[in-house]
Amino acid sequence: MLSYRHAFHAGNHADVLKHAVAVQLLNHLGKKDKAFWYIDTHAGAGAYALREGYATKNAEYDTGIGKLWGRTDLPEMLSEYVDEVSALNPDGHLRFYPGSPYLAWRLMREQDRMRLFEMHSTEIDVLRHRFRDAGRRVMIYPGDGFEGVKALLPPPPRRALVLIDPSFEDKRDYSRTIKCLEESLERFATGTYAVWYPQVTRPESQRFPDQLKRIQEKSWLHVSLSVSHPPKDGFGLFGSGMFILNPPYTLAAQLKETMPFLVKALGIDDGAQFKIESRGD
């Protein structure tokens, strides 16, 4: 929805899961010399101030990155993620939080390319300013990423990570995500696709993981993190999930090491839990 601003939620527990996974996916693509593309259907502003503006309204980062900041006992996967956040806060004080485009830019190499979609007029202006010196390595498109991504597939190097993470404030985003994945796979079956989704009490969210599993019989991984029981009043985010099509073979083992730690670190009540499911080739 055009009213949505991710800055309200920057750095919360859902961002921790999403971005810790994204860092691993990008690192894996970067292990081969051949170029890759990073494509983001809902890019947002790229990075966010935590101590001013929208992020201060509910200080949601206190439920996420704030609980990991400064710790020295992080599992490797979380340590690599926090290192990337630290790069935006070189003085050691947590003031800024990187969105997915910033993380991708940090982990890209000279031969790699980034393609970003954003509909919100204010967000895209910030995004353009942030990457104003990037040249053709970064292309930013105003408009609907669900539709626009198809024109970019398959990318020239035939290697890419496509991140699909709408706000899901509009319940049509669930069906549109499914359709986008199905049509994208027809064009580029070997790409890595990562879908973030919220855990909320609405029925569309509850059935979404099973719908994603039916898109592709094999080669998928699903991880979810609940930080509490579902709220009794039915409102609010109590967890999130990441569903990856064509995941790297190393990711499941990394998550098995990491998720118990995240439950303890970010859990709010005894409803905190994680789930990992996968189907290999």
pTM score, two decimals?
Answer: 0.95
Pick the CATH number of 6-150+157-279 from 3.40.109.10, 3.40.50.1980, 3.40.50.150, 3.40.50.300: 3.40.50.150
- What pLDDT is stored for residue 52 in this prediction? 75
Predicted local confidence at residue 26, as pLDDT: 98
Mean pLDDT, residues 89-112:
96
| 3: pLDDT strictly greater than 90 | no
Task: With CA atoms as reference, report the closest residue to 154 among 235, 246, 65.
Answer: 246
Inform me whether the pLDDT recorded for 57 exceeds 70.
no
132's tokens: 């104003």
Quickly tell me which residue has 């929208």 as its tokens.
54
> Per-residue pLDDT for 55 more than 70?
no
Looking at residue 13, what is its pLDDT? 97
Q: What is the mean pLDDT of residues 101-124?
A: 95
* pLDDT above 90 coverage of the chain, percent: 88
pLDDT > 70 in the chain, percent:
95
Q: Among residues 259, 181, 187, which one has the least CA distance to residue 223?
A: 259
Q: For the chain, what are the domain ranges?
A: 6-150+157-279
Specify the residue for token string 């669900």.
Answer: 146
Q: What does pLDDT average to over the chain?
A: 93
- For the ranges 56-70, 88-102, 126-140, 204-218, which has the lowest average pLDDT? 56-70
What is the pLDDT at residue 71?
96
**101, 43 in Cβ contact below 8 A?**
yes
For residue 1, the model assigns a pLDDT of 34
pLDDT of residue 59: 79
Q: Which residues are catalytic?
A: 165
> Can you tell me the distance from the alpha carbon of 31 to that of 117, in angstroms, rounded to the nearest whole number?
26
How high is the pLDDT of residue 2?
34
d(Cα 10, Cα 50) in Å, to the nearest integer?
7
DSSP letters spanning 159-178: -EEEEE-----STHHHHHHH
Query: Where is average pLDDT lowest: 28-37, 44-53, 168-177, 268-277?
Result: 44-53
Q: What's the CA gap between 68 and 198, in Å, rounded?
A: 21
Q: What is the pLDDT of residues 172-218, one digit of tens each?
A: 999 999 999 999 999 999 999 999 999 999 999 999 999 999 999 99
For the cut 70, the answer to whether the pLDDT of residue 5 exceeds it is no
